[in-house]
């Protein structure tokens, strides 16, 4: 559940801290929402397919909700390079899980990690509340789907790369300035397309179109994103930049670094935290909230 003080009313002007509203819940400045990951993929970098089976995915969602997740983020395509997954297969993987989780948990906020508008339409009809577009608006039709169904949208910065690619020697004059300019422009375009202003988040997308130095710089200067007034989502859980920062640790040994990055992000005003371990994230964020006086 959210912690902290209530925020401003919807319709705030850009630059004014806004309230995020999804499925009847409100997360204002100072509130922290845990977004838990459910991968319906056979080749996830983290769980290696342990929640690929339909029932395993639904049961994982229930467990994460019991552990304190406010949002469940369901994905059907591995972020990195791998086996091609066409829209029909992505729909097969995610739509039935969305419907089942919605039936089992009528009040939970359901997000779907997709960049495709044809997938977005099907999952919106199945009960999704949020479209988590980690690839930065490569399909301009996604905002139209969010607007048509009255649901939320994540506007991310992926360095203008094609989905599921890793750019070689990516460079920015100022990575944070680029992130802020790109995500806020996407957000304003979404509003112009009809998406509710209070249903939009911006996301720096650590490691997407970025090397470790870029992801660390974004983490250090995340306050420049939160200062825009848009609610900020951070997705840093067990990512490569965490492992490289700690001397090349493998995925399963990045937990402490993940929690440290979550705390730094929360202290700078991040609102939503996409994680694999909902229980630990909830406890860490509760400490941050107390440190902040909430």
29 confidence band (pLDDT: 50, 70, 90): very high
Q: What is the mean pLDDT of the chain?
A: 93
pTM recorded for the entire structure: 0.93
Residue 287, CA distances (Å) to 32, 216, 253, 267 in order = 11, 22, 22, 11
User: 293 pLDDT exceeds 80?
Assistant: no
User: 2 pLDDT exceeds 90?
Assistant: no
Q: Are strands 20-22 and 25-27 parallel, antiparallel or unpaired?
A: antiparallel
Q: Which CATH number fits domain 20-291: 3.40.640.10, 3.20.20.20, 3.30.460.80, 1.10.150.120?
A: 3.20.20.20
For range 48-67, the mean pLDDT: 95
* Domain residue limits, the chain: 20-291
- What b/e string do you get for 78-91 counting C-beta neighbours within 10 Å, with b at 16 or more? bbeeeeebeeeebb
pLDDT of residue 44: 83
Among 257, 264, 269, 258, CA closest to 231: 269
pLDDT tens for 95-143 read: 999 999 999 999 999 999 999 999 999 999 999 999 999 999 999 999 9
39 confidence band (pLDDT: 50, 70, 90): very high
**Of 23, 271, 274, 282, which residue is the catalytic one?**
274
Q: Which helix (H) or strand (E) holds 286?
A: helix 278-291
**Of 23, 121, 197, 239, which residue is the catalytic one?**
239
250 confidence band (pLDDT: 50, 70, 90): very high
pLDDT of residue 294: 63
User: 201 pLDDT exceeds 70?
Assistant: yes
Residue 73, CA distances (Å) to 33, 94, 245, 289 in order = 12, 10, 26, 23
Q: In angstroms, rounded to a whole number, what is the distance separating the alpha carbons of residues 78 and 243? A: 19
Q: In angstroms, rounded to a whole number, what is the distance separating the alpha carbons of residues 288 and 283? A: 9
* 48 included as an active-site residue: no
For range 135-157, the mean pLDDT: 97
């Amino acid at each position: 559940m959210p912690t902290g003080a209530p925020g401003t009313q919807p319709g705030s002007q850009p630059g004014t801290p806004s309230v995020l509203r999804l499925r009847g819940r409100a997360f204002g400045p100072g509130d922290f929402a845990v977004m838990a990951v459910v991968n319906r993929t056979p080749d996830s970098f983290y769980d290696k397919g342990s929640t690929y089976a339909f029932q395993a995915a639904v049961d994982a969602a229930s467990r994460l909700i019991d552990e304190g997740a406010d949002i469940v983020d369901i994905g059907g395509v591995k972020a990195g390079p791998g086996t091609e997954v066409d829209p029909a297969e992505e729909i097969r993987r995610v739509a039935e899980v969305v419907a089942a989780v919605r039936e089992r948990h009528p009040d939970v906020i359901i997000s779907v990690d997709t960049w495709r508008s044809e997938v977005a339409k099907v999952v919106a009809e199945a009960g999704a509340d949020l479209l988590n577009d980690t690839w930065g608006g490569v399909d301009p039709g996604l905002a139209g789907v969010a607007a048509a169904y009255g649901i939320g949208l994540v506007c991310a910065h992926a360095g203008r790369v094609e989905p599921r690619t890793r750019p070689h020697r990516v460079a920015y004059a100022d990575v944070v300035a680029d992130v802020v300019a790109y995500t806020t422009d996407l957000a304003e375009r979404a509003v112009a397309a009809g998406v509710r202003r209070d249903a939009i988040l911006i996301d720096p997308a650590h490691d997407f179109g970025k090397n470790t130095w870029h992801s660390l710089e974004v983490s250090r200067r995340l306050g420049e994103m939160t200062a825009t007034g848009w609610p900020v989502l951070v997705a840093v859980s067990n990512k490569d930049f965490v492992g490289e920062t700690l001397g090349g640790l493998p995925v399963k040994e990045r937990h402490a670094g993940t929690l440290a990055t979550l705390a730094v992000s929360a202290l700078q005003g991040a609102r939503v935290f996409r994680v694999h371990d909902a229980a630990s994230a909830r406890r860490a964020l509760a400490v941050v909230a107390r440190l902040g006086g909430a």
